[in-house]
Structure 1
Amino acid sequence: MATHRANYALVPFQEHLGPDREALDVPWASFAGDRTEQGIFEVPTGDAQDAYVEMQVYEAGSYDHELLINGDSLTGFDVPESDGWQYWMDTVTGASLEEGKNTLQFRRDRDSGDSFVVGTVVVNWKEPAD
């Protein structure tokens, strides 16, 4: 039986998504408009399994925002509605991790008129221990 170990990557954003920079009073966050910059992280294996993300999100008002990994949107709703800061977990489905460089990006639902901040995201996976 193969043994596995847990691994992760930390992806900091501190980016404000919204229709305009005045929608939230968050001078510590960079205004990004409708999508964050692409966060880049490394996966040291071609056999990443059971991946999930944990994210800090501030003031999200719509379930229709998307999280993309390597350009592919996760299935289901990705960002919960919340007042203040929330810490949310979502499985990586509809997208996959690749060995080497991977990208992570949030895309705001333009129809919502919502403004929110993405803090830090942790991408977790299991990989062979040998």
Structure 2
Amino acid sequence: MTYRANYARCSFQQHLGPSADSLDVPWADFTGNVSDPVTFEIPTDAPAEPYIEMQVYDVDEFTHEIHLNDQSLSGFDIAPGDGWQYWMDTIGAEQLQSGENTLRFERDRDTDDAFVVGTAVVHWKEPVE
């Protein structure tokens, strides 16, 4: 079988943190502990080898979560780093579905960490007919 690569770009520009003044990022919308959900379409019923790449700013903790269709990704989702970072995480093929999918980020409420989610890109391969 032949495959082609496909992707969906999800723009967030959202500040997650314990308070609106936890980071000086007036260009990002403060959303508290959970980002607004962003939806994207999967045009196949057989997505293969999916993964997500994301821009994140000023993450201090490993314990934040990424939710795809209301399921947490496994393992460490976002790596700590000062300033802007670009991070990749794998997605279980069963977590993507044909049609509409929802992506959101959730900060660990047990920390005082604050960070920004810039843009995320979900990648997958799909069969070519």
TM-score range, shorter chain: over 0.9
2: CA distance, partners of 1:95 / 1:115: 30
2: CA distance, partners of 1:80 / 1:127: 28
Letter in 2 for 1:45: T
Task: Point out 4+ residue stretches in structure 1 off by more than 6 angstroms.
Answer: none
CA offset at residue 95 of structure 1? Answer: 5.8
What is the aligned partner in structure 2 of residue 82 from structure 1? Answer: 81
Given that 1:66 and 1:107 are in contact with CA atoms closer than 8 Å, whether structure 2 keeps it comes out as yes
What is the aligned partner in structure 1 of residue 5 from structure 2? Answer: 6
Task: Using structure 2 for the length normalisation, give the TM-score.
Answer: 0.98
The 1:102–1:23 alpha-carbon spacing in structure 2 relative to 1, beyond 3 Å, is: same
Counting only pairs closer than 5 Å after superposition, residues 41-120 of structure 1 correspond to structure 2 as 41-93=40-92, 96-120=95-119
Given that 2:50 and 2:93 are in contact with CA atoms closer than 8 Å, whether structure 1 keeps it comes out as no
Which has more strand, going by share of residues? 2
Letter in 1 for 2:79: P
Letter in 2 for 1:66: E
CA offset at residue 94 of structure 1? Answer: 8.4
2: CA distance, partners of 1:94 / 1:78: 16
1: CA distance, partners of 2:33 / 2:42: 27
Letter in 1 for 2:123: N
Unmatched 5+ stretches in structure 1: none
Unmatched 5+ stretches in structure 2: none
2: CA distance, partners of 1:9 / 1:33: 25
CA offset at residue 72 of structure 1? Answer: 0.2
Given that 1:34 and 1:108 are in contact with CA atoms closer than 8 Å, whether structure 2 keeps it comes out as yes
Given that 2:41 and 2:99 are in contact with CA atoms closer than 8 Å, whether structure 1 keeps it comes out as yes
2: CA distance, partners of 1:129 / 1:90: 25
CA offset at residue 93 of structure 1? Answer: 3.1
Identical aligned residues as a percent: 53
Letter in 2 for 1:43: I
